[in-house]
Amino acid sequence: MDEGDIIYFEECVSGVWYKVKCKITGIEKSKRGWKAEFKSLSGIGKIAFMAEKIEDGCIFTHIESFGSKKLIIGKIVDFLLLKVFPRILPQANFDLIQKDMEEDGKRLKKILERGGKI
């Protein structure tokens, strides 16, 4: 995969399907680690994955951000995302997203510590 490529992924979280198309907006690699950044084609979400070598292992970070930085339109989009959509769209339930990310972190820790076995 290269910068500019479009990727697609699906994930089912507590019975709610997330189907996302993203554009790879940045890939950085070094001797100490790597970073990959993605922006959703809808324009309201960004995802970053980072890994850094440390003396006794590695630090893996996954960040998801939502909203718009544009002045007037951004405030409207953020209001819709945080106040209106969660009431009508299960995919906009940020508590569900946060809980899933916490569970993913626990599973990743187990996978890394047990050599790929959960």
Helix spans in the chain (H):
71-79, 85-88, 94-113
pLDDT value of position 107: 78
pLDDT value of position 22: 93
- CB distance 67 to 78 below 8 Å: yes
Instruction: Report how far residue 47's alpha carbon sits from residue 13's, in angstroms, rounded to the nearest whole number.
Output: 17
> For each successive 10 residues of the chain (118 residues), what is the average pLDDT?
91 80 95 94 85 89 75 66 61 71 78 68
pLDDT value of position 11: 80
pLDDT value of position 20: 85
- CB distance 36 to 52 below 8 Å: no
pLDDT value of position 71: 63
Instruction: Report how far residue 7's alpha carbon sits from residue 14's, in angstroms, rounded to the nearest whole number.
Output: 23
- Helix %, strand %, coil % of the chain (to 5): 35, 45, 20
pLDDT value of position 79: 66
Write down the pTM of the prediction.
Answer: 0.63
pLDDT value of position 66: 72
pLDDT value of position 84: 62
